[in-house]
Amino acid sequence: MRILLVGSGGREHALARTLAKSRHTDTLLIAPGNPGTAQCGTNVDVAADDLEGLLALATERDVDLTVVGPEQPLVDGIVDRFEAEGLRIVGPTQAAARLEGSKAFANQFMSRHDIPTASFRVFEADEGEAAAAYIEDVGAPIVVKADGLAGGKGAFVCSSVEAAHDALHQIVDDRAFGAAGDRVVIEEKMEGEEVSVLALTDGTNYVLLPPSQDHKPIGEGGTGPNTGGMGAFAPAPLLDATALTEVCRRIIEPTLQGMRAEGVPYRGVLYCGLMITDEGPKVVEYNCRFGDPEAQVILPLLDTDLVEVLDRLVRGNFEQFSLRTTPGAAACVVLASDGYPIAYDTGREITGIDDAEALPEVSVIHAGTRRRPDGGLVTDGGRVMGVTARGADLPAALERAYEGADRIQFQGKTLRRDIGQKGIAHLDT
C-alpha cells in the first residue's frame, strides 16, 4: 500500500516507525515530516495545514491510505475533502472533530448525553465581565480554558481567584491563543488522577489501546505551566480491567452512541483524557487523534499490524475484531529546550543519539529537530525529542529511557526526572 502520513512532530515519527514496519506498506510519504521520519520513508514538503496541497499529493501519488497525525487538519476538515474525492483517510469528519476543536461543544455534548465531566459555564469573549463575576462566585480552585485549539497550552488550573482572573485576561484580553479564545469555558476543578484512554473506532465498534499517562506541566511534581507533554508511560496501572470496563460503559460507548444520534458518527482515534475521581471516571477532554507523547509509548506495545487495523477502521470492519498487545511496559522522556513552553532558543547542536539508540529497546523520536545544510542535527522546537524505551515492566522501561536521555546532549536540555513515578506508586499498592 502507498501510505501518506500527515504531520511533523514526535507523534508522527512514532507513527512513521510503526507504519514502515508493516508488511502492507510499500511506500510511505510523510508531509512534511522531520529528520526522524526521513529514516522511515520519504518526506514531502507539504505543510500539515495545506489541505489542498495534501489532496493534490495524495491524488498525484495514488495514495491508498492517509493517516493524519495532528488535530488542526482534522478540525479544518481534511477528512471531508479527501472523502469527497474518493480517497481513504483515517480520522473524524470536521463536524465530529469538534469534540476536540471546541471545548464548549464537547462539554455541551457530554451534558446532552449524560457523560460524566466537570460542571461548567461557557462565555463569549465579549462576556468578560460575566465570566469574571462567575469566577468570583464559584471561587477557587477552578479551571479556565480557551475554547479552541491551543496546542495543549490553553487550559489553566488555577489555585486562586487571582490566578483565574489572570488566565481569563490572557485568553480574552491579551488574545494569547488568538481565535481559540473567542469563547471561554470555566469548569470546576476535578480531584483525582489523570489517565488517557484511546479507542480506535469505525463509528460503531471500537478497540481499546493500552491506557497511558502523560505529564503535562513543565516542572517535576506537576508544577509550572502546561506543555504539550513532557513524558508518558503505558500501560497505566491506575486502570485495571474492571476500571476499563467502567470507562467503556460510562464514557466511550455513550460518546459513540451520542455522536451517531446527532448525525455525526465518529470514526478514527477517540482520545479520552480522564480524571479518575471518587465518583468514578470523568472526562477532562476529548482529542480526535493519537496523543503526543502518548503515541510514543502506546504504539511500541501493539502486536497487531497497525496498517491492518487502520484499513479495517476505514472500511467499517471492526466487528468481532480484537487488538493484540505485547507484555511489558513502555516509557517516554521528553527532552525540551530551556525556556519551553514560553520562550526558547533553537539551532543548538544535538549529539549522542546513536549512543542512546545503542541501548536495548531504546528509540529516539524526533519532534523539534532539523538538519543543517552540512548535515548536522540541531534543535528546532520547544519539545526537541522523546527517548522511548520498552522493558519487562515499568521500572525497567523508565531506567532504559532515562539512560538513553542522559546520553543525548544539547545546550539548554531540559527534562523531568519524575516521569512514571505515579505509575510505580500504583504498582507498589
**Whether 285 contacts 251, CB under 8 Å:** no
What is the mean predicted confidence (pLDDT) over 13-30? 98
Res 176 pLDDT > 70: yes
pLDDT band at 429 (very low <50, low <70, confident <90, very high): low
CATH of 119-188, one of 3.30.1490.20, 3.40.47.10, 3.40.50.300, 3.40.720.10: 3.30.1490.20
What pLDDT digit, counting tens, does each position of 352-390 carry? 999 999 999 999 999 999 999 999 999 999 999 999 999
Task: Give the N- to C-terminal CA distance of the chain in Å, as an integer.
Answer: 46
- Residue 428's pLDDT band (cuts 50, 70, 90): confident
More confident residue, 356 or 126: 356
Assign domain 2-95 to a CATH class. alpha beta
Q: Which fold has domain 193-315?
A: D-amino Acid Aminotransferase; Chain A, domain 1 (3.30.470)
CATH topology of domain 329-427: Glycinamide Ribonucleotide Synthetase; Chain A, domain 4 (3.90.600)
Please check the confidence at residue 334 and state whether its pLDDT lies above 90: yes
Per-residue confidence (pLDDT) for residue 125, from 0 to 100:
87
User: Count of residues for the chain?
Assistant: 429
CB-neighbour burial class of residue 277 (10 A; exposed 0-12, middle 13-18, buried 19+): middle
C-alpha cell at 148: 479552541
pLDDT tens per residue, range 111-121: 999 999 999 99
Mean pLDDT score of the chain, rounded to an integer? 96
**For 272-309, how does the pLDDT look when each residue is reduced to its tens digit (9 = 90+)?**
999 999 999 999 999 999 999 999 999 999 999 999 99
Compute how many other C-beta atoms are within 10 angstroms of the C-beta atom of residue 137. Answer: 8
Residues 259, 249: Cα–Cα separation, whole Å? 15
In the chain, domain spans: 2-95, 119-188, 193-315, 329-427
Q: What is the pLDDT of residue 115?
A: 98
pLDDT digit string, tens, across residues 65-109: 999 999 999 999 999 999 999 999 999 999 999 999 999 999 999
Which grid coordinates belong to 76?
A: 479544518
Asked whether the beta carbons of 313 and 386 are under 8 A apart, the reply is no
Is the pLDDT at 234 greater than 90? The verdict is yes
Provide the pLDDT for residue 363. Answer: 98
CB atoms < 10 A from the CB of 280, how many? 15
Q: Considering only CA atoms, which of 131, 331, 337 is closest in space to residue 214?
A: 331
| Cα–Cα distance, 134 to 139 (Å, whole number) | 8
